[in-house]
């Protein structure tokens, strides 16, 4: 599974307003498929997983 890493300036995190913890799912068409709330309270892995399953199923 390819893994990317943000740079030391947190460029990607800033672009996504992702501080301190946050989950997103990007669809293959370049759009946002899922946007979690800001963490830690909004950092819900199960919610993201459900969204991911739906996105993958729709992409088939």
Binding footprint of another protein on the chain (CB under 8 A) = 2-7, 11-13, 15-28, 30-39, 42-43, 48, 52, 55-56, 59
In the complex, least distance from residue 32 CB atom to another protein, rounded to whole angstroms: 5
8 A C-beta contact, residue 28 and residue 53: no
Look up tokens 């307003």; give the residue: 17
Closest distance to another protein from the beta carbon of 46 (Å): 13
Residue 38: φ, ψ to 5°: -65, 140
Shortest reach from residue 29's CB to another protein, in Å: 9
């Amino acid at each position: 599974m390819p893994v990317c890493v943000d740079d030391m300036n947190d460029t990607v995190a800033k672009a996504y307003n992702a501080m301190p913890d946050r989950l997103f799912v990007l669809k293959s068409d370049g759009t946002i498929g899922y946007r979690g709330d800001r963490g830690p309270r909004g950092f819900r892995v199960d919610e993201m997983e459900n969204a991911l399953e739906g996105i993958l199923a729709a992409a088939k």
